[in-house]
Structure 1
Amino acid sequence: MPAGLVISAPASGVGKTTLTLALARAWRNRGLNVQCFKSGPDYIDPAFHAAATGRASVNVDSWAMDRGAIAHLVGRGTDADVVLAEGSMGLFDGVAARGVSGTGATADIAEMLGWPVLLVIDPSGQAQTAAAIAAGLRDYRAGVQLAGVVLNRVASPRHEDLVRRALNDAGIAVFGALPRHAEISLPKRHLGLVQAEEQAEIGKLIDEAARFVAEHVDLDAVLGSAASWSPQPAVNGMNVTPPGQRIALARDAAFSFIYPHMLEAWRAAGAEISTFSPLADEAPDASADVCWLPGGYPELHAGKIAANARFRSGLRAFADTRPVHGECGGYMVLGTALTDADGIRHEMTGLLGLETSFAKRRMHLGYRLAALAAPMPGHQVGARLRGHEFHYSTIIAQPDTPLAVVHDATGAVIAETGSRRGHATGTFFHLIAEDR
């Protein structure tokens, strides 16, 4: 029977991902099968999980998914020895208004699955106060059980002793303490961690993290704190409609932000997916019946995309007769132009009138509920789609027919409506699930 554990923290940037990867690899090195999940809408971490475990990881999201969909997704851990769900932000951080089965908080997943929470605490600049924070998190919500704590970035043995004593007095188990160790820091950029596939040394980095954590953390005690878990049969699956039977999917360093569970759901529904690289100046497969451009980092490659004539002409020819859809960065590339962070304007494919700029960055972040005012691949007018938006681009022009009426998690209407022109459609949000 698998052992389930949630890894969370009081806030972002404390070391959840590094500890998750290190524990997963350390247990895998001991011969255990480890399955990871990501709570919340982060689309980068699952690739790191897969690198650490050798098993595909997916997102589970209480705001966008119902309990049946979450049960379906976590069911892949049935044959594992250990199942780890990495949280996002702080343990109880979600949105103000409840979504499908919760607010998107990691605590929702912990309570829903009955898995205890391993807290990563960074006591930098404090000592006994770290115990007060851990105790507050332990007691905040009755249905969430705390397994214990791993301390990260401890300054000295004396510092560790002060924090340990306070946590012991509060009745909170301390499984280990990690001194500062720059060699296992994961590189970051403006949308989070640099993607796993862009890091040639990711395997060595995870190995070093596993060695370091095994040296400072009681792996047996952590494993013993996990809950024996008997997965409940899922009544239904994701109920996701693929955008077509044969899907040409842009896939490279500029186009990689798509949720793994969406691709799995498309394949499970019978769709075939062929990939192509716009950065390698490749055009979509001419035999496909729909083309999908995910988000990613087109702003880092805008000059190359603008110069790749075969990709641009091939995509335009495809869109003459068949649907093309772009999400976030893919949407920007379907537009007329993209201005990069240096203020240089690059022509994009021109299938839509959208023009965006990174010269004056402004963060757009949050869950989105879209009611389609026009059809898009796989979905008809009136369909309600749940997704998440995270980008720093500014809209210079969005002149085409709005694709949807889009609300944020509070119900407020937002300006990022998406667009439709001819066979081309685009949204700033990344699709997570359909409302049933």
Structure 2
Amino acid sequence: MIPPGLLISAPASGTGKTTLMLGLLAAFKARGTRVQPFKCGPDYIDPGLHRAASGQFSVNLDTWAMGREMLAGLIAGAQGAELILAEGSMGLFDGVVKSGACGTGASAHVAALTGWPVVLVLDCSGQAQSAAAVALGFASMRADVRLAGVVLNKVASPRHEAMLRAGMAEVGIEVLGALPRQKDVEMPARHLGLVQAEDQGDLARILHAAGDFVAEHVDLDRLLAVAGDTRLVGATTGITPPGQRIALARDAAFSFVYPHQLDGWRAAGAEITLFSPLNDEAPDPGADICWLPGGYPELHAEKLAAADTFRTGLRDFAQTRPVHGECGGYMAMGAALIDKEGTRHEMAGLLGLVTSYAKRKMHLGYRLATFAEPMPGLAAGARARGHEFHYSTILEQPDTALAHVVDANGDAVPETGSRRANATGTFFHMIAEAA
């Protein structure tokens, strides 16, 4: 049986969604309540934090890239849990203008499809009763999205809280909790967002503090009571693995893999073997495909350039079998990577790609690719939906373009990916195959 759920969202990024989400997961875990976490949208960092707080793998739900059947199949993995908590992305209604396979990618669309009521986190700095007007607007924006209540964040004093609660009572919106200003549970940040769970030496303390903090100031029993029945239920995700035995790079430089992707590969019968380029390990010679995920190769470029066993093993592998890289993995397969200080580091050289961080430029957004050349798991002519998020710039890309790539508005983007012999790579991370 699929448990009831709630979607944790906010009017904007930076208002406290992640703090509340992690605190709730830690607090419920401490009470012995099994919670299945999800993350709305394309995000690698938050699911790792969710797992650390809850002890359960967190899975991405993306209504721009995933169809109803795939979303339903992923939600089916919550069987056996007592509650679903899904963390939204950006503001509740923020998404692209044009709908994708299922929607605009907005967290509100996940709430509408699943039936999960929304817990709205409000940063109440500098306002009192006016916060109720914001909450009322969110409650009335879409008839198919139900607001369970609000959690007031950054409350300055008991008097401030009383004024906020009075405003909410006036418009009939329930207050589920009120969080005083608190610095001890804030998460450190990096240029692509929050620091990965495995990179945070202080994470256990932060999560314990967040759990205690939220348990003290949020009504956990009431949250359980207002959770809504899950009405989007299915059985399959329809993910095709790129090979039978997959050698997957996995370490601090290559860690951006969606949990639904790995689960889908395994469910389809594929075997995954891990290796660490940072530990100078070569891919499994018994594998029939090598996959280099995204991550932070720019933070480890010097070490990757000196990893002779890794680079030689990767080149030998590519002589007879396919190697594919996404974003950071794509850059590591190239000829060179130039770091933010302007230092050039030689990479594996499977592709002619040269990328630079010397001049930062954000590349962000959904991507729809139509493949002109085959890549592992997808034939020429196939389509895939994904997401691009990086700050690197292409200086050289002499190889054959892998795909025709457009953004969510249908406008062509120059990051087409590339192919040379058995080596392929893209700057976008694939989320799902597209019809």
Q: Deviations over 1:232-277 (max 9, x none)?
A: 344xx22222111111100000000011100111111111100000
Name the structure 2 match of 1:79: 80
Residue ranges of structure 1 left out of the alignment (5+ in a row) = none
Give the whole-Å Cα distance in 2 for the aligned partners of 1:241 and 1:293.
17
CA distance in 2, matches of 1:414, 1:105: 22
Aligned to 1:427: 426
In 2, the alpha carbon distance for the partners of 1:31 and 1:292 equals 38
- Within the alignment, does 1:91 sit opposite 2:92 as a pair? yes
Aligned to 2:111: 110
The aligned runs of 1:244-283 (5 Å cut-off) are: 244-283=243-282
Q: In 2, distance between residues paired with 1:233 and 1:374?
A: 33
Q: Cα offset for 1:18? A: 1.5
TM-score of the pair, normalised by structure 1: 0.97
Between the aligned partners of 2:426 and 2:232, the Cα distance in structure 1 is: 35
Q: Is the 8 A contact 1:78 1:231 kept in 2?
A: no
Give 1:333's aligned residue: 332
CA distance in 2, matches of 1:380, 1:184: 47
Aligned to 1:416: 415
Asked whether the 8 Å contact 1:255–1:294 carries over to 2, the reply is yes
* Distance (whole Å) between structure 1 residues aligned to residue 311 and residue 286 of structure 2: 17
Matching residue of 1:151? 152
> Quick one: which amino acid aligns to residue 275 of structure 2?
F
Residues 29-69 of structure 1 deviation map (CA, whole Å, 9 limit, x = unaligned): 11211101111111211111111111111101100011111
Q: Note if 1:8 corresponds to 2:17.
A: no
Residue 354 of structure 1 and its aligned partner are, at CA, apart by 0.9
Q: How does 1:123-202 map to 2 (within 5 A)?
A: 123-202=124-203
1:86-132 CA-to-partner distances (Å, cap 9, x unmatched) read 10000000101000110000000101011100011001122222211
Which residue of 1 is the match for residue 215 of structure 2?
214
Distance verdict in 2 for CA 1:425–1:407, change over 3 Å: same
How many residue pairs get aligned? The number is 434
Which of 219-228 and 328-337 deviates more? 219-228
Distance 1:319 1:46 in 2: 32
Instruction: Report the 3-state secondary structure (helix = DSSP H, G, I; strand = E; otherwise coil) of the residue aligned with 1:242.
Output: coil
Distance 2:223 2:239 in 1: 36
Kindly provide the amino acid, as one letter, of the partner of residue 219 in structure 2: D
Partner of 2:34: 33
Query: Quick one: distance in 2 between partners of 1:410 and 1:365?
Result: 13
Identity %: 64
- What displacement does 1:435 show? 1.2
- TM-superposition CA deviations, 1:146-200 (whole Å, max 9, x none): 0001111122222222222111111111111111211111111011110011123
Q: Displacement, 1:231?
A: 5.7
Aligned residue for 1:227, secondary structure, equals coil
Residue 203 of structure 1 and its aligned partner are, at CA, apart by 2.5
Q: Which residue of 1 aligns with 2:102?
A: 101
Aligned AA (1:227): G
Aligned partner of 2:316 in structure 1 is 317
TM-fit CA distance, 1:14: 1.1
Contact 2:114 2:231 in 1 (8 A): no
The CA distance in 1 between the partners of 2:234 and 2:383, in whole Å, is 26
Please give the alpha-carbon distance, in whole angstroms, between the structure 1 residues aligned to 2:11 and 2:324.
37
Structure 1 segments of 4+ aligned residues over 4 angstroms from their partners: none
1:221-260 pair list within 5 angstroms: 221-229=222-230, 232-234=233-235, 237-260=236-259
Residue aligning to 2:349: 350
Distance 1:392 1:160 in 2: 41
Cα contact 2:369–2:403 (8 A) shared by 1: yes
Structure 2: 5+ residue runs without aligned partners? none
Note if 1:369 corresponds to 2:389.
Answer: no
Q: Distance in 2 between matches of 1:370 and 1:34?
A: 35
Deviations 1:384-415 (A, max 9, x none): 00000000111111111000000100000100
Contact 2:356 2:395 in 1 (8 A): yes
Q: Which residue of 2 aligns with 1:295?
A: 294
Question: For the aligned residues, what is the CA RMSD?
Answer: 1.2
The whole-number CA distance in structure 2 between the counterparts of 1:404 and 1:205 is 43
Measured after TM superposition, the shift of residue 230 of structure 1 is 5.9
SS of the equivalent of 1:228 reads coil
For the Cα contact (< 8 Å) 2:44–2:256, is it kept in 1?
A: yes
Matched residues in 1 for 2:147 and 2:231: separation?
A: 19
> 1:381 corresponds to which letter in structure 2?
A
Q: Which moved more, 1:176-185 or 1:371-380?
A: 176-185
DSSP-derived class of the 1:295 partner: coil
Q: What secondary structure is seen at the aligned counterpart in 2 of 1:138?
A: helix
